[in-house]
Chains A and B, each alone.
Chain A
Amino acid sequence: MRTLIISAICLSTIKGFAINPDAELLSTPTYTTITKSNGGLFGYKYVDATITSNGNGGFNAILACSDPGMTSCKWKNAQAFETELSNDELNEVEILVFEKIQNSRDEIQKGNFIYNNNFLVLYDYNLEENKLEYKILNREEAKEYGFNI
């Protein structure tokens, strides 16, 4: 909770540098990471969202959900906005990740795809551990992973 508050304060301080709805992309590397592990039938016990400045006007966001509980593993609207992707876009990315994993049905899966011509999505799923992690990288961040979009 404290992390969230600190992050929110940081965000409100430097928000003006980062938000530009008309820009195709921010020029600095940013990423969004979502981790879901050991969830329950009705959701998660721990749902922690952390958004931090990367020091260059961009933001990195992490949503970590774990253990059985009653909370959905979701971003709040404001958090999604700060990560360059709208809530709808984040949901769409998740649906695509789920589709790819379900279509494959391998017990351990690693893969990637380009979303909306602008983002690289890397995903990693382990069935036995019931753990899914995926990252959404903008173009600049993707370069650091060796991908040119």
Chain B
Amino acid sequence: MKKITAFAICLFITASCYSHEVYVTKSKGGLFGYKYVEQTSMNNGQVFLTCTDPGWTKCRYSSGAKITYKDISIDISLETLNIIDETVIRNITESKLNGKFIFDNTFFVIYKYNLETDKLEYSIYLIEEANDKGLI
């Protein structure tokens, strides 16, 4: 439990530094899914989906999210989140282990998969934020 708390704190600090809006990590899953699957929405609008360790639960979003940046606020539906997730997975399956793409002219997605540690991370920003951060 201490490890999970420490991990959550690290995650929060890391996420705050980069201030991405939707941050997803999947690591060390099992043949049948994950032990820990948690979607957390922060007061500042950030959303985390964290899935770790072998278990029985699929790593899925439980709900949509609202992405806010400066004076822009956009709802991102559960369906859209799932489509983005599938796109990331498909890209990696096609051997593009790191990459970025724009989805629906609204969202900017940046992802990386570490084969050695079996850890997938990706972030979804509004295009405006990605532009301001020089990510595009």
Contacts and interface: CB of A to CB of B under 8 A. Distances in A.
Contact of A68 (B31, B55, B56, B118): B118
A60 B59 CA distance: 37
B84 interface: no
B127 to A, nearest CB: 27
Contacts of A39: 31
A69 B115 contact: yes
A101 B92 contact: no
Interface residues of B, number: 19
B103 to A, nearest CB: 21
Contacts of B55: 127
Interface residues on A, range: 10 to 19
Interface string A23-47: 0000000000000100111100100
A130 B30 contact: yes
The binding surface of chain B is classed by DSSP as: loop
B32 interface: yes
Given A36-B31, A41-B118, A41-B120, A130 B56 contact: no
B115 A132 contact: no
B61 to A, nearest CB: 17
Contacts of A148: none
Contacts of B113: 41-42
Given A36-B31, A41-B113, A68-B118, A102 B95 contact: no
Interface in A18-74: 36, 39-42, 45, 68-70
Nearest to B117: A68
A40 B115 contact: yes
Contact of B54 (A45, A68, A105, A128): A128
B32 A42 contact: no
A146 to B, nearest CB: 28
Contacts of A102: 32, 56
Contacts of A45: 115
A98 interface: yes
A103 B15 CA distance: 37
Interface string A1-14: 00000000000000
Given A41-B26, A42-B92, A127-B55, A68 B32 contact: no
Contacts of B116: 68
Interface string B96-125: 000000000000000001011110100000
Interface of B: 26, 28-32, 54-56, 89, 92-93, 95, 113, 115-118, 120
| A-B CB proximity, top 4 nearest | A68-B118, A40-B118, A130-B54, A130-B30
Given A42-B113, A68-B117, A130-B30, 7 more contacts: A41-B113, A45-B115, A98-B31, A101-B32, A102-B56, A130-B31, A130-B54
